[in-house]
Chains A and B, each alone.
Chain A
Amino acid sequence: DAGITQSPRHKVTETGTPVTLRCHQTENHRYMYWYRQDPGHGLRLIHYSYGVKDTDKGEVSDGYSVSRSKTEDFLLTLESATSSQTSVYFCAISESIGNQPQHFGDGTRLSIL
């Protein structure tokens, strides 16, 4: 298994609270990604990183921010959580972009009440 650890694995919180999800990798891969998975939508990219302090938006980035201060850690923050952000969040890593497969963590199940 790819060395990817997501924390927490489950979280329940209230609307309007800030939430931070963590992804930690031990593979020293340059690229890291955050996806959300919702029924009927498959996996959709939120943000990705192509190096320390280098990040860019994906297709569903509104309401989310990210940070990457070290190669191994990629944080996803919901500044003020809304019920529409209830989802399963997956972190992925890859050695390069576009022509290398991505490997996924086991996800964080987030419920916003």
Chain B
Amino acid sequence: QKEVEQDPGPLSVPEGAIVSLNCTYSNSAFQYFMWYRQYSRKGPELLMYTYSSGNKEDGRFTAQVDKSSKYISLFIRDSQPSDSATYLCAMSETGRRALTFGSGTRLQVQP
């Protein structure tokens, strides 16, 4: 079983919809949680960065962390065709060298 699980999709939604992307994890030592967006043939771009549990909002994006359930979410409001990309969750322990990534969810927003 992978340490971080993420549904690969594709997830197809109409423009303007609210999108929910999720990851589950098994390592209770993870403290830092990130969401990256990756366009085709580009590198991952950091979208959201949170520490421990709770919510964080940035424009149309909201990240939620529920450490008791080992579950993190990214919500995208008023989704746009330009949001079409692969979304990667990543997490790390304090002081550890590497991020542990989910395999990514491909999102398609239809105009």
Interface residues of A (CB under 8 A from B): 4, 33, 40-45, 48, 50, 56, 58-59, 90, 97-99, 101-107, 109
Contacts and interface: CB of A to CB of B under 8 A. Distances in A.
B101 to A, nearest CB: 4
B44 A43 contact: yes
A102 B94 contact: no
A26 B15 CA distance: 37
Interface residues of B, number: 29
Nearest to B39: A106
B32 interface: yes
Given A42-B102, A43-B88, A43-B101, A97 B44 contact: no
23 contacts: A33-B97, A33-B98, A40-B8, A42-B101, A42-B103, A45-B97, A48-B97, A58-B97, A58-B98, A59-B98, A90-B43, A98-B32, A98-B92, A98-B96, A99-B32, A103-B46, A104-B43, A104-B44, A105-B43, A106-B42, A106-B43, A107-B41, A107-B42
